[in-house]
Amino acid sequence: MKSDLFSAGIIGVGSYVPGNIITNKDLERIVDTTDEWILNRTGIRERRIADDNQAASDLGTIAANKALKNAGLTPNDIDLIIVATITPDMNFPSTACIIQHNLGAVKAAAFDLEAACSGFLYALNVASQFIMNGSYENILVIGTECMSRITNWKDRKTCILFGDGAGAVVLSKVEKGYGFLSQYMGADGSGKNFLKISAGGSRLPASISTIEQNLHYIYMDGSEVFKFAVRIMADAAKEAIIRANIEKEDIDFLIPHQANKRIIEGAAKRLELNMSKIITNLDRYGNMSAASIPVALDEVLAKGMIKKGDIICMVGFGAGLTWASNIIRWAVD
Ligand code: UT7
């Protein structure tokens, strides 16, 4: 971090998950699967699904309003809104612009950032640069997803995994020594075909044929993503630890992207980190892509588990392939 006077840090957090719950038993009635298979292979018990009239911006707006309240700010105080999502309301305008309007954050610039499940951490890392270089005072970073809208509910390999939700944080200047101690991002486009939606873009515009082939839904090579994820979660966390000049024993909580309990356990083993320090909520929400980390963060804060000075490591991976991590010394009481 460049400034000797201040750091960039999180000063408010909020989240929202829709009320509709789909359990593994419900999925047994839709595809050829069992509660036991899903629980054993993923750790997921249930997931939330947005109402028909709810889009990513609606979920994100609720989470953002909560984060603003938690930070003690009003929409007028916000200079920039960055939304991480792979399920925008529409291709354009950005979901960030829609949320800006919903909030009435009329002074805020707004854009979307897409790094799939790593999107929230990418957005945090980008936003903190604007705080550090003095361009902006207060930035809303939102991860919001309606994964149910891009899920093929006939594909048992993917439909059991995902859920809808949103999380938001407010970034601002904090006391030197607090806030972001390190940040790390990476990508490997050679893995672009492991996890994707093929149709609907400029390569393969949507057509009756693409819809008949289900190419507007998520495609995933689960085992390739799994192998990558276990390795990269551990490596990315280690890199953030080195850059922050701390020891892994200094970490109070690790908040990983919530994709699969076995991925999280595998990464924890490689990191030699006790599972008691690792935050998981995927049993209740499944994989909410860019929303998974901020929702988990909001939940642990609501439980009063994190106090000022605690060291938190966030680490995620996703389509692209992408990955990102950071170390934060929690800055607020
Ligand atoms: O945010 C990033 C996004 N994605 C991920 O992080 C996902 C990463 N990958 C995974 O989490 C795992 O690979 C999965 C949970 C997707 C799959 O678990 P797996 O242990 O890798 O299973 P598999 O794909 O090797 O499949 C094993 C068997 C197959 O049957 P056969 O060929 O052995 O007869 C599958 O057809 O399990 C079958 N299977 C299922 N059975 C019941 C696959 N999905 C299901 C299902 N219910 N839902």
**pLDDT of 171-210, one tens digit each?**
999 999 999 999 999 999 999 999 999 999 999 999 999 9
Q: What is the pLDDT of residues 265-311, one digit of tens each?
A: 999 999 999 999 999 999 999 999 999 999 999 999 999 999 999 99
Q: Is the dihedral of CA 58, 60, 66, 71 positive or negative?
A: negative
Residue 101 annotated among the catalytic residues of the structure: no
Say which residue the tokens 């990955």 belong to: 323
pLDDT at position 203:
97
Extract the residue ranges of the chain whose pLDDT is less than 50. Answer: 1
For atom 30 of ligand 1, which residue has the closest CA? 157
Please pick, among 24, 260, 281, 287, the residue that the annotation labels catalytic.
287
Helices (H), ranges, the chain: 24-28, 35-42, 56-71, 95-103, 119-132, 156-159, 208-212, 222-244, 261-271, 282-285, 292-302
Closest CA to 240 of 196, 158, 185: 185
Residue 257 annotated among the catalytic residues of the structure: yes
Q: Ligand 1 test: best mutation among 41, 44, 233, 260, most atoms within 8 Å of CB?
A: 41
Does the predicted model carry a pTM greater than 0.85?
Answer: yes
Q: Ligand 1 test: best mutation among 157, 194, 221, most atoms within 8 Å of CB?
A: 157
pLDDT at position 5:
80
